[in-house]
Amino acid sequence: MEHNGSKAVRQNRVRELRENRLMTQAQLARKAKVALRTIHSVEKGMNCRMDTKRKILLALGLRFEDKDQVFPSSLSMFGSESTFPHSHS
């Protein structure tokens, strides 16, 4: 497991997906109808309510069902293979 000098907080993929869509944090916050500081906190790995996750996912053009691939659960912190189960080869 990579640490990159960070705490044990598991990073989510919100920043990666936002940047892939060429969106700023402010644009994502407006589209998701959440505060800019919420986007900043979420991208830093802070936890948020399920409703906030839903708003962010929809603003990124994703489905709520994609939440486990964007927001890894605490149960899958120690193995990426449980986060992306289709890696069976």
Tens digit of pLDDT for each residue in 30-79? Answer: 999 999 999 999 999 999 999 999 999 999 999 999 999 999 875 444 44
**CATH tag, 14-71:** 1.10.260.40
pTM score, two decimals?
A: 0.72
Rounded to a whole number, what is the largest CA-CA distance in the chain?
42
Report the candidate in 83, 43, 87 with the shortest Cα–Cα distance to residue 67.
Answer: 83
More confident residue, 8 or 66: 66
Q: Locate all alpha helices (DSSP H) within 21-66, ordered by sequence.
A: 25-32, 36-43, 50-59
